[in-house]
Amino acid sequence: MPNNTYIQLLLSITENNKYRRWYIQICERAMLRASSKRDANNLYEYIETHHIIPKSFQLGGERDKSNLTHLTPREHYLCHILLTKCTVDQYYIKSNFAAWAFIQNNLFQGRTSKSKIYQLLREEIAKLSSINQKGKSKPHTQLHTNNKNLSAHKRRLQYNVYNLLNKQQIEEHITLQDFCEKYTFKYDNVLVSIRDYKSIYKNYLFQRKDSKNNHDVEQALSQQFIIRKFKSSKIYNISNSLTNEIFTMSRAQFCNDYNIKSYNMSIKSKIKITYKEWTLNLVP
């Protein structure tokens, strides 16, 4: 019987039962038949390397060869299941999660697992996860609450709205919802674009009522094109041959707003782009 340091360590952190004896027998038999991975490969077509003391136990030996044994896939599977039957305290929790990860990886690789073992282990993982998360708020619930509160807050905000084509203020102290109803825009699309005290959606510049900085608005109105929403994109005059609609924005923002995949647009020239009924002319 090999006198292995890690097997001796295993004896101190596990219960003395038949599952521990079977686990040690499998590991010792594997070490006797092959002292290295090369020897094991000469005996079997496929082998897997197993840590006698699992890495998740954090007891050392992650790179120590004396903590490694080379097993067949069936032996490797049995070892992870046996560890869940003989470990205690924190090592019991870690061995269950390690066995679950091992089974999930096997299923991904197309290997099957006994349904009874799978069910028992899945139930234990669910119980351990519930204990571990007890008293903690669910992240996705908290995120949903924050988004809901943020949306409600934005519904109450009022804006001064400027048309960047004719350089004039068209609305004063209007909410986004009222603006969308009046100009027939989708509220969700506008809400996503309006994030700061000064934001742009299509040809419209929105300035928060409580914003004290009018310099940026004056600068935007004096420019010959809309401030870039997507910094990496150039600005285009965009026209629709069917509806005679004309506006100015970046190509990336145009694709985003009209749900067009940019790679579908044939770009033979950066100055003029045509896509279906749309024509994009680069602003100099």
Is 113 a residue whose pLDDT tops 70?
A: no
Give the pLDDT of residue 188: 76
Which two three-digit tokens encode residue 150? 């943020």
Mean pLDDT calculated for residue range 161-183: 83
- Residues with Cβ within 8 Å of 13's Cβ and at least 6 positions away in sequence, in order, are 57, 59, 87, 88, 91
Give the pLDDT of residue 20: 92
* pLDDT bucket at 230, cuts 50 / 70 / 90: very low
Which has the higher per-residue pLDDT, 150 or 154? 154
Mean pLDDT calculated for residue range 41-58: 87
* pLDDT bucket at 139, cuts 50 / 70 / 90: very low
Is 80 a residue whose pLDDT tops 60?
A: yes
Give the pLDDT of residue 21: 93
pLDDT-wise least confident of 13-27, 36-50, 70-84, 239-253 = 239-253
Which has the higher per-residue pLDDT, 230 or 177? 177
Measure the CA angle with vertex 80, ends 118 and 83; round to 5°: 110
Is 140 a residue whose pLDDT tops 50?
A: no
Mean pLDDT calculated for residue range 155-183: 82
Mean pLDDT calculated for residue range 70-77: 87
Mean pLDDT calculated for residue range 147-153: 54
Is 46 a residue whose pLDDT tops 70?
A: yes
Q: Distance from CA of residue 144 to its chain's centroid?
A: 16
Mean pLDDT calculated for residue range 177-189: 83
Is 4 a residue whose pLDDT tops 80?
A: yes
* pLDDT bucket at 238, cuts 50 / 70 / 90: confident
Mean pLDDT calculated for residue range 205-229: 62
Q: Which residue bears the tokens 């799978």?
A: 118
Provide the mean pLDDT of the chain. 76
> CB–CB of 97/57 below 8 Å?
no
Is 1 a residue whose pLDDT tops 60?
A: no
Give the pLDDT of residue 25: 92
pLDDT-wise least confident of 62-76, 140-154, 157-171, 224-238 = 140-154
Mean pLDDT calculated for residue range 261-279: 70
Cβ-defined contacts of 35-43 (< 8 Å, 24+): 36/70, 37/70, 40/70
Count CB neighbours of 207 within 10 A.
Answer: 20
Which has the higher per-residue pLDDT, 75 or 197? 75
> CB–CB of 174/161 below 8 Å?
yes
Give the pLDDT of residue 23: 93
